[in-house]
């Protein structure tokens, strides 16, 4: 019987072609969108984790409440001891102290007078110690446009666009004007080692990167740091474990002390929770949307097919085929259509996704003024899920569509068959 049904689908293109096309298109979009979401949103989450939020982040309670103001007067102190403790208690994370600061970059002329000046947000990170993974984590070496990597204290990196606006070049000196941890004015001279382009608007707008010890010296933050980031050694964010670690850490802290350290997982930080949640749930949304949309189309296609095959169903019922059996054979046909459409759609979706997996589409222009860290390009990421995810809407929609459309079979009156089949 199955062979008979498949032959029918093969011979009668109008029975199979439209549903297969509908399923293939839907599945292709579902696979592509899933790869896109995994790629773009996943990259966004990881980018934010690496640059700003970590997989977990430790700050003082007061710093956490005013984080957007980069309040270094509320920074963590005795960071070396805290970092050691964290490394011992949570060895699956790599811990990195960072100081975020704001200020002005002042570029002098040959007479020492201000040639140009611009506001900056900076980061002091561990650039010089051998065990630091920060250079690789932030992809600094590959992001250098002109000049070279920081190699000794007193050197700094500036965003390429920012340096051009200021007219400062590698080898030139400039002054960072900022505020110390204790509220005094700070002036610190740096030599520009090189310029950077991270490829995202928020980082490239006006940033300065210096070694954390220079930042400590400049901002009078001895053994202090604004934040301590923890990144899983695997490189991938594990929300469940991150929340567990944060809960364990915070459980031992004094709730009343504003300067006591507090740990937040990535999802507990501004906007990231929603982003991670959307990323995780997106597959479910995609599947649900495509099931409903395709089922509606296929339901209609099934109704039209049912009208066209009215005579066939009639004669089959007259010959003694039971209504249940006839209904089941329609579902078998839909499974075949769903499978075929899903295979074609998955292949097309993977192909389309593979085209955007490398360089992707440059969206730097769209991200101008964005405060959030977004990748500079829309890139897909093909994961094992993409090989099967399309089969869920592909099969379910055809089966549901056919089940709805086929209900008419049960309304058919056998007593009218002779009359109907005379037509």
Partner 1 sequence: MDNNAIIQIRELTKSFPMGKSKFTALSNINLSLEKGEFTGLIGPSGSGKTTLLNIVGSLDTPTSGEAWVLNQSIGSLSAKEAARLRKEKLGFIFQSYNLLAVHTVFENVEFPLLLLKIDAAERKKMVMDALEWVGLTDKVKSKPPQLSGGECQRVAIARAMVKRPSLVLADEPTANLDAANSHHILQTMVKLNEELKTTFLFATHDDKVIGYLRRKIYLLDGKVANDEWVKDYHTVK
Q: Which residues bind partner 1 (CB under 8 A)?
A: 1, 4, 7-8, 11-12, 15, 311-312, 314-323, 325, 414-415, 417-419, 421-423
Closer to partner 1 by Cβ: residue 331 or 367: 331
Closer to partner 1 by Cβ: residue 230 or 306: 306
Q: How far apart are CA 315 and CA 258, in angstroms?
A: 82
- Shortest Cβ 10–partner 1 spacing (Å): 9
Which residues on adjacent β-strands are paired with residue 377? 362
Give the C-alpha distances (Å, rounded to integers) separating 44 from 68, 187, 272.
19, 35, 9
342 CB-near residues (< 8 Å, 6+ apart): 23, 24, 27, 390, 391, 394, 395
Closer to partner 1 by Cβ: residue 258 or 321: 321
Residue burial 213-235, b: 16+ Cβ < 10 Å; e: rest: bbbbbbbebeebbbbbbbbbeee
- Shortest Cβ 414–partner 1 spacing (Å): 4
Torsion of CA 295, 300, 304, 309, to 10 degrees: 30
Closer to partner 1 by Cβ: residue 280 or 321: 321
Closer to partner 1 by Cβ: residue 44 or 402: 402
- Shortest Cβ 332–partner 1 spacing (Å): 13
- Shortest Cβ 406–partner 1 spacing (Å): 17
Closer to partner 1 by Cβ: residue 191 or 323: 323
Q: How far apart are CA 293 and CA 373, in angstroms?
A: 33
- Shortest Cβ 313–partner 1 spacing (Å): 10
- Shortest Cβ 307–partner 1 spacing (Å): 15
Closer to partner 1 by Cβ: residue 13 or 182: 13
- Shortest Cβ 324–partner 1 spacing (Å): 8
Closer to partner 1 by Cβ: residue 109 or 324: 324
Closer to partner 1 by Cβ: residue 285 or 410: 410
47 CB-near residues (< 8 Å, 6+ apart): 200, 373, 374, 375
Query: Distance between alpha carbon 85 and the CA centroid of its chain, in Å?
Result: 31
Using an 8 Å Cβ cutoff, are 338 and 22 in contact? no
- Shortest Cβ 25–partner 1 spacing (Å): 25
Q: How many residues does the chain have?
A: 423
Which residues on adjacent β-strands are paired with residue 393? none
Using an 8 Å Cβ cutoff, are 153 and 191 in contact? no
Q: How far apart are CA 63 and CA 259, in angstroms?
A: 8
- Shortest Cβ 358–partner 1 spacing (Å): 45
- Shortest Cβ 420–partner 1 spacing (Å): 10
Closer to partner 1 by Cβ: residue 129 or 414: 414
- Shortest Cβ 385–partner 1 spacing (Å): 38
Closer to partner 1 by Cβ: residue 251 or 319: 319
Report the 10 Å Cβ neighbour count for 24. Answer: 23
Angle between helices 310-318 and 272-308 (to 10 degrees): 70
């Amino acid at each position: 019987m199955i062979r008979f049904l498949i032959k029918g689908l093969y011979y009668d293109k109008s029975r199979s072609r439209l549903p297969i096309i509908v399923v293939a298109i839907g599945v292709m979009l579902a696979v592509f969108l899933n790869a896109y979401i995994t790629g773009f949103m996943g990259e966004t989450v990881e980018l934010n984790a690496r640059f700003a939020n970590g997989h977990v982040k430790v700050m003082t309670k007061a710093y956490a409440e005013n984080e957007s103001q980069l309040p270094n007067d509320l920074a963590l102190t005795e960071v070396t001891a805290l970092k050691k403790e964290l490394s011992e208690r949570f060895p699956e994370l790599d811990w990195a102290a960072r100081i975020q600061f704001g200020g002005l970059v002042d570029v002098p002329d040959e007479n020492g007078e201000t040639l140009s000046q611009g506001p900056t947000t900076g980061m002091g990170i561990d650039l010089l110690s051998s065990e630091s993974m920060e250079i690789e984590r932030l992809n600094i070496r590959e992001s250098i446009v002109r000049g070279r990597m920081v190699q000794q204290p007193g050197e700094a990196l500036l965003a390429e666009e920012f340096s051009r606006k200021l007219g400062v070049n590698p080898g030139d000196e400039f002054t960072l004007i900022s505020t110390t941890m204790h509220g005094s004015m700070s002036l610190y001279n740096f030599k520009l080692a090189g310029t950077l382009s991270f490829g995202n608007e928020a980082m490239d707008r006006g940033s300065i990167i210096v070694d954390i010890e220079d930042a400590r010296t400049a901002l009078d933050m001895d053994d202090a740091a604004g934040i301590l980031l923890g990144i899983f050694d695997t490189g991938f964010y594990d929300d469940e474990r991150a929340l567990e670690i944060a809960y364990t850490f915070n459980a031992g802290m004094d709730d009343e002390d504003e300067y006591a350290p507090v740990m937040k997982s990535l999802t507990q930080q501004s906007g990231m929770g929603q982003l991670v949640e959307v990323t995780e749930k997106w597959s479910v949304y995609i599947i649900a949307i495509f099931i409903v949309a395709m089922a509606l189309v296929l339901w209609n296609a099934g109704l039209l097919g049912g009208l066209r095959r009215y005579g066939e169903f009639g004669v089959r019922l007259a010959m003694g085929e039971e209504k249940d059996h006839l209904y089941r054979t329609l579902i078998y046909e839909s499974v075949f259509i769903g499978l075929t459409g899903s295979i074609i759609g998955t292949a097309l979706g993977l192909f389309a996704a593979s085209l955007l997996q490398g360089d992707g589409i440059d969206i730097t222009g769209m991200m101008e003024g964005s405060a959030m860290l977004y990748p500079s390009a829309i890139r897909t990421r093909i994961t094992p899920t993409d090989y099967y995810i399309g089969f869920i809407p592909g099969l379910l929609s055809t089966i549901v569509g056919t089940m709805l459309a086929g209900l008419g079979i049960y309304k058919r009156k056998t007593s009218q068959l002779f009359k109907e089949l005379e037509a």
